[in-house]
Structure 1
Amino acid sequence: MGQFIQLVVDGLSNGSIYAVLALAIVLVNQATGMINFAQGGMAVLSAYVTWRLVEAGLPLIVAILLAVLASFIVGGLLERFLMRRFERGDPDTAVVVTIGLLTLITGVCGWLWTYNNQQFPSLFPLHTVRIFGAAVSVRSIGTFLAIVAIMLVVQALFLGTKLGLALRAVAINPESAAFSGLPVGRLLMAGWGLAAALGAVAGALVAPQLTLTPGMMDTALVYALAAVILGGLSSPVGVVCAAWLIGVLENLAAVYVHFIGYDLKVAVPFILIFVVLIVRPQGLFGRKVVVRV
């Protein structure tokens, strides 16, 4: 039982890493209707900015806030001067552009700060506590609670605020939104800015657990996309629950399903995706889209 609890706790900790990046992907999709593959690279860039500010002598929390502000501005500028050229065209072209942007950002990070592992300071203490016989780090508990808080904020943003409703309207039908008097261009910039700011928070939460490198988000991005498919693009709560589910099932399968083991546990989320896409294509918590002709 002790081993089982430890595996579940570790799975929730890993799932929280996937969840924070998945939330940023959902946010930009709900605000612009796009899937942003560059989200992981933007989180890495903001983490490096935070790290350099801390190295310069600023307190960690101040460095994170400045990185969040800078990320919001950079995200808005990227939408205005780069992505806007592709938003009205073929969606596949826009996806390819975000993949290219991911490669560019990680390459720039490696060029500026090398590919060596860097130690990123943690917001939370590093000691562990015992919960039902399992050793749990305070950092994992803090990350878990931070993910819950971010999830609730994002959910409230889209369901309970005028800004969130306007962002959703622009993402669904920008032409009708413009006819209704909504500032479509500024809302698209705000959506990308908010997603980039959330990516900055993701980088600050994840970097202490993974060590800071230009490619630290590559694997997490794959799992985050799996969580988005499983949970549904329209549900912040759904993608977080899906990310935790992936983390837990991956750990349990590695130990208790012998033909999978640790070598094949990466296949677990893809098996889940295959099953969910057959049974419920909109995701476990997503809404079915009805198109009237």
Structure 2
Amino acid sequence: MGTFIQLVVDGLSTGSIYGALALAIVLVSQATGLINFAQGGMAVLSAYVAWWFTTLGLPLILAILLAVLVSFVMGALIERYLMRRFERGDPDTAVVVTIGLLTLITGVCGWLWTYNNRQFASLFSLDTVQVLGASISVRSIGTIVVIVAMMLLLQAMFVGTKLGLALRAVAINPQSASFSGLPVGRLLMVGWGMAAVLGAVAGALVAPQLSLTPGMMDTALVYALAAVILGGLTSPIGVVVAAWLIGVLENLAAAYLPFIGYDLKVAVPFILIFVVLIVRPQGLFGRKVVVRV
């Protein structure tokens, strides 16, 4: 039982990191209708900015808060001066631009801070607590709590605030939203800025568990995209639950299914995607899109 609980909690902690990136992808999608493949690179850049502030002698929490502020500005500027040129055109072109942006940001991080591993301090204690024979780290618990808070806040924003409703209106039909008096350009900048903030939180959570490198979020981005497909692009809660499901099932399959093991556990989310897309194409928590002709 202790081993099982350990695997589940570790899976929830890892899945929470995937969930943070997935929430950022959902936020951009809800605001612009696009999938942002550069989200992982933006998270890495934010983590490097936070690390750089700590090298100047700033406390960790202040460094992360400043990095979050920088991330918001960065996301808003990327939307205003780069993505806006493609948002009204072919969606496939915009997606390719985000992939190019991912490559660019990763290269810039390597150029500025090299590709050497950097140590990033953890927000949470490395102590452990005993639960039914399992040693659960305080960092795992803290990571899960942070993601739950982010998930609930984002869901509440989309459902119960004017900002959330305005972002959704802009994503669905920007022209109609503009005719209704909504500041479409400003809302798009806010959406990208908030997504960058979520990415910054993800970077601050994953950097202490891995060494800080320009490519540290590459694998997490793949899992985050899997969580988006499983959970549904319209549901912040759904993508986090899907990310947790991926993290937990991946750990359990590696431990209890010998033919999968730790070498093939990466296949678990893709098997889940295959099954879900057959049974429920819109995702576990997504809504069907009805098109009137």
- Please give the range of the TM-score, normalised by the shorter of the 2 chains: over 0.9
Q: 2:252 maps to which residue?
A: 252
Is 2:154 the counterpart of 1:162?
A: no
Task: Give the Cα–Cα distance (whole angstroms) in 2 for the partners of residues 31 and 178 of structure 1.
Answer: 14
Q: 1:149 maps to which residue?
A: 149
Report the Cα offset of residue 113 of structure 1.
0.5
Report the Cα offset of residue 258 of structure 1.
1.7
Report the Cα offset of residue 229 of structure 1.
0.3
Task: Give the Cα–Cα distance (whole angstroms) in 2 for the partners of residues 123 and 261 of structure 1.
Answer: 31
Task: Give the Cα–Cα distance (whole angstroms) in 2 for the partners of residues 152 and 245 of structure 1.
Answer: 18
Query: What is the identity, as a one-letter code, of the residue corresponding to 1:86?
Result: F
Report the Cα offset of residue 210 of structure 1.
1.6
SS of the residue 2:130 aligns to:
strand
Report the Cα offset of residue 114 of structure 1.
0.9
Report the Cα offset of residue 55 of structure 1.
0.8
Q: 2:266 maps to which residue?
A: 266
Report the Cα offset of residue 117 of structure 1.
1.0
Q: 2:178 maps to which residue?
A: 178
Q: 2:222 maps to which residue?
A: 222
Q: 1:26 maps to which residue?
A: 26
- Superposition RMSD on alpha carbons, in Å? 0.8
Q: 2:132 maps to which residue?
A: 132
Task: Give the Cα–Cα distance (whole angstroms) in 2 for the partners of residues 202 and 266 of structure 1.
Answer: 20
Task: Give the Cα–Cα distance (whole angstroms) in 1 for the partners of residues 268 and 286 of structure 2.
Answer: 21
Question: Please, what TM-score do these two structures have when normalized by structure 1?
Answer: 0.98
Task: Give the Cα–Cα distance (whole angstroms) in 1 for the partners of residues 200 and 5 of structure 2.
Answer: 31
Query: What is the identity, as a one-letter code, of the residue corresponding to 2:78?
Result: L
Task: Give the Cα–Cα distance (whole angstroms) in 2 for the partners of residues 124 and 137 of structure 1.
Answer: 9
Q: 1:1-293 maps to which residues of 2 (within 5 A)? A: 1-293=1-293
Report the Cα offset of residue 39 of structure 1.
0.5
Task: Give the Cα–Cα distance (whole angstroms) in 2 for the partners of residues 232 and 4 of structure 1.
Answer: 28
List 4+ stretches of structure 1 deviating above 6 A: none
Query: What is the identity, as a one-letter code, of the residue corresponding to 1:34?
Result: L
Query: What is the identity, as a one-letter code, of the residue corresponding to 2:249?
Result: L
Report the Cα offset of residue 245 of structure 1.
0.4
Task: Give the Cα–Cα distance (whole angstroms) in 2 for the partners of residues 254 and 35 of structure 1.
Answer: 30
Q: How many residues are treated as equivalent by the alignment?
A: 293
Q: What CA deviation, in whole Å up to 9, does each residue of 1:8-37 have, x standing for no partner? A: 111111111111111111111111111000
Identical-residue share of aligned pairs (%): 84
Q: What CA deviation, in whole Å up to 9, does each residue of 1:183-233 have, x standing for no partner? A: 111111111011011111111111111221100100000000000000001
Report the Cα offset of residue 50 of structure 1.
0.3
Task: Give the Cα–Cα distance (whole angstroms) in 2 for the partners of residues 108 and 2 of structure 1.
Answer: 44
SS of the residue 2:283 aligns to:
coil
Report the Cα offset of residue 64 of structure 1.
1.1
Query: What is the identity, as a one-letter code, of the residue corresponding to 1:85?
Result: R
Task: Give the Cα–Cα distance (whole angstroms) in 1 for the partners of residues 211 and 159 of structure 2.
Answer: 35
Query: What is the identity, as a one-letter code, of the residue corresponding to 1:275?
Result: V
Task: Give the Cα–Cα distance (whole angstroms) in 1 for the partners of residues 30 and 158 of structure 2.
Answer: 8
Task: Give the Cα–Cα distance (whole angstroms) in 2 for the partners of residues 195 and 63 of structure 1.
Answer: 19
Query: What is the identity, as a one-letter code, of the residue corresponding to 1:245?
Result: L
Task: Give the Cα–Cα distance (whole angstroms) in 1 for the partners of residues 258 and 170 of structure 2.
Answer: 48
Deviates more, 1:252-261 or 1:50-59: 252-261
Report the Cα offset of residue 145 of structure 1.
0.3
Q: What CA deviation, in whole Å up to 9, does each residue of 1:74-118 have, x standing for no partner? A: 111111110011101111111110000000001110111111111
Query: What is the identity, as a one-letter code, of the residue corresponding to 1:94?
Result: A
Task: Give the Cα–Cα distance (whole angstroms) in 2 for the partners of residues 84 and 233 of structure 1.
Answer: 21
Task: Give the Cα–Cα distance (whole angstroms) in 1 for the partners of residues 252 and 175 of structure 2.
Answer: 48
Q: What CA deviation, in whole Å up to 9, does each residue of 1:236-263 have, x standing for no partner? A: 0000000000011111111212211111
Question: Please, what TM-score do these two structures have when normalized by structure 2?
Answer: 0.98
Task: Give the Cα–Cα distance (whole angstroms) in 2 for the partners of residues 208 and 259 of structure 1.
Answer: 31
Task: Give the Cα–Cα distance (whole angstroms) in 2 for the partners of residues 14 and 197 of structure 1.
Answer: 19
Query: What is the identity, as a one-letter code, of the residue corresponding to 1:222?
Result: V
Task: Give the Cα–Cα distance (whole angstroms) in 1 for the partners of residues 253 and 201 of structure 2.
Answer: 30
